[in-house]
Amino acid sequence: MDNSFFVEEAYNQEPGVVQHILTAHHEVDRQSGPDSHTWYLTFTQEWPVPDQANQLSFTLPYVFMREQGIWTDGWGDLMLNYRRQVWLNRERWTALAPRVSLILPTGDADRGLGDDTLGAEFNLPFSTIVGDALAFHANAGLTALPDAASANDRDLIHYQLAASAIWAVRNDLHLLIEWVGRWEHTPDALGQLHHRWRSILSPGVRYALNLPRDVQVVFGLAAPVGLNGAAADYGLFLYLSVEHSMWRPN
């Protein structure tokens, strides 16, 4: 039931429990050049407001890019997220939690770190647990960026599908396999906009430390691999989560 790496789970934060998530995703894409590397760092904080029915969070990105021997780094576009727990069957732990996000233009578009526009993202996560050790998650969503700088001030709409399976080897040790497919709206060499399909498969593992005073620390590692020519060739994903109680629910 903890956060996956690329596929969003549908369980909101429990009353009084706050989660802090730090990720680092390294991509190698030979299509952009033999010396092209990108590191995406994100910090996410999730809060119940005030119970599990409603959740607020934000995601703050920082990007390191190397293209043609030149390094560029800086803050990306900030996301403010609201998620509603519309369905939660506690007998089978089956859940739906639609999310809507506001994308703020905090990145420097002139350096390729943002789109200089107010955008929105919608996602529908579904989760269920089968038996004692197997969980499945699925997502469907879209991202809308009107007047995006990366498309010469034209509108961009990206679509995404994702699915994952998680096997609990032990209560504190999980193996993951995640798939993400994305239709990215991007300009071609002539400036025409097309939807380009990107698909990755990512095996991973996560381990939890359950500490006193209801503190849980989760470490994760994954190795995403591109499944088609438009996706990055391969990458490395690192995950760190700290979850703890901030107040006692009524």
Architecture of domain 17-245: Beta Barrel (2.40)
Q: Whole-angstrom Cα distance, residue 231 to residue 122?
A: 22
Radius of gyration of the chain (CA): 18
Q: What is the pTM of this model?
A: 0.92
How does pLDDT run across 103-129, given as a tens digit for each residue? 999 999 999 899 999 999 999 999 999
How does pLDDT run across 197-240, given as a tens digit for each residue? 999 999 999 999 999 988 999 999 999 999 998 898 899 999 99
- Domain ranges across the chain: 17-245
Q: Whole-angstrom Cα distance, residue 126 to residue 204?
A: 20
